[in-house]
Amino acid sequence: MAAPAAGHGDRHPYESEIGGIVPATAGAGIEVRILDHDSQVELTNRSGHRVIVKGYEGEPYARLESDGPVYVNLRSPSRPLSSDRFGRTPPTGREDASASPRWSLIGEDGRLAWYDRRAHYRRRGVPDQVDDPAKRTRIRDYWIPILVGGIPARIEGSLYWTGKKGFPTGPFLALLTITGLCGLFGARMLGRLRSPGSESPGGELPQVEE
């Protein structure tokens, strides 16, 4: 079962939407949602089956048991890459996608939340898919492979650029206009001071007392 996205972070102009679990029969008792608009995928297992989340190289990344315990695979190359939004957590050097998993208990409530790079955008700037930054645009569809009771399934979703508010051109143009008028007025005044008609009777510019 897929839940709607939770929260609306202002930091990143993206929205990640979970479409569901395919096949739908595998999703019974599993809740998946996005935290903070597009930051983390959260999976809660109430299915009565063991759920395995696959990493970026197809290796076992996490394991959620049917009775609550949640584990991560310390040998999964996806673990450091999924520990923060931009995947900057340094690896330990012991990661190996082909090695047997080394499981570490991280919780007992049947819930796992992680920064899956498939579900959000990690680069800086506006994505290439966006033609108009002010408009909502679909960046890509994605899927995250899982095993439910040993049966292959996947979490499907879509990532969107939500639209960035444009620069406040009205006030900016008004400021430019005022600045331009002030500059023009100053230039004209300086020109009048320097013109022959503005000179004092002795032919010198008027003196200003200090």
pLDDT for 12: 79
Q: Length of the chain, please?
A: 210
The identity of residue 138, as a single letter, is: R
Three-class SS state of 193: helix
User: Which ranges constitute the DSSP H helices of the chain?
Assistant: 78-81, 169-194
Interval 80-139: pLDDT, tens:
999 999 999 999 999 999 999 999 999 999 999 999 999 999 988 899 999 999 999 999
pLDDT for 124: 86
Kindly list the domain boundaries of the chain, sorted by start residue: 14-161, 168-210
Which residues are CB-contacts of 158 (< 8 A; sequence separation ≥ 6)? 16, 17, 19, 138, 140, 141, 142
**pLDDT category, 192, cuts 50, 70, 90?**
low
